[in-house]
Amino acid sequence: MLPFLTNGQSLPAPEKTYKAAFNHIKHDRQLRQMGYNLKNVAVFDSIVHKDLTWFSQELGVLWGYTGYQKEKRLADSLDQLGTTTFHKPYFSPLNTSLTTNSGLIKGSTVIVFSRLENNMLLAEVSDNQEGGPGLHNIFSTFDQSLLYLFIFRPDGTIQRHYVQHIAYN
């Protein structure tokens, strides 16, 4: 099994982790450099499935999966985990409490969060190019986004974070 399973560690409170991730993203220089409007940031109102395989290289280094065979096993495990944990988006009162901005306005910067699982949280940031309420307006063809992986301490503070640039085409 993957090393991020907790082995009896206490897990951070979701309220603290989502808020810590939200605040980190709002102050990220990389987003500013990409031209995102950080004064008009919204959080999508639903929890959305996101895939850890984008971070297989970083997690491999973190967990000591070095060498081709170990990296391949980790990538296969992350892929299988993504398949078995897939879920449709579902409403989250916690997400809606992070900001009052709806994100419906064309050009709004929108953060989409995954479930908090085993002290890890994925967040993807894009702009609402089309305007409107759906994920298809936020993540559209020929769009780009930043995908964050946050790993938390038991007290809900960020222990590590990684970022991947994603280009949809």
pLDDT tens-digit profile of 55-107? 888 888 888 877 767 776 777 777 676 677 677 888 888 888 898 877 777 77
Answer yes or no: is 159 within a domain.
yes
Q: Does a structural domain hold residue 82?
A: no
Alpha-helical regions (H) of 29-149: 29-33, 56-63, 68-84, 93-97, 135-138
Q: Is residue 2 part of a domain?
A: no
Band (pLDDT 50/70/90 cuts) for residue 137 is: low
Give the pTM.
Answer: 0.81
Mean pLDDT of the chain: 81
pLDDT at res. 6: 45
127, 110 contact by CB (below 8 A): yes
Do the domain assignments include residue 99?
A: yes
Which residues 6+ apart lie within 8 Å of 61 measured at CB?
Answer: none
Please name the helix (run of DSSP H) or strand (run of DSSP E) that holds residue 15, with its range, or none. Answer: helix 14-26
Separation of alpha carbons 32 and 2, rounded Å? 34
Q: How many domains does the chain have?
A: 1
Is residue 44 classed exposed, middle or buried when 0-12, 13-18 and 19+ CB atoms within 10 A define those classes?
buried
Question: For residue 140, what are the domain limits?
Answer: 22-49+87-167
- Residue 15 falls inside a structural domain: no
Q: How far apart are CA 13 and CA 35, in angstroms?
A: 32
Q: Which whole number is the average pLDDT over 11-17?
A: 87
Assess if residue 136 is contained within a domain.
yes
**11: in domain:** no
- Res. 4 pLDDT band, cuts 50 70 90: very low
Does 41 map to a domain? yes
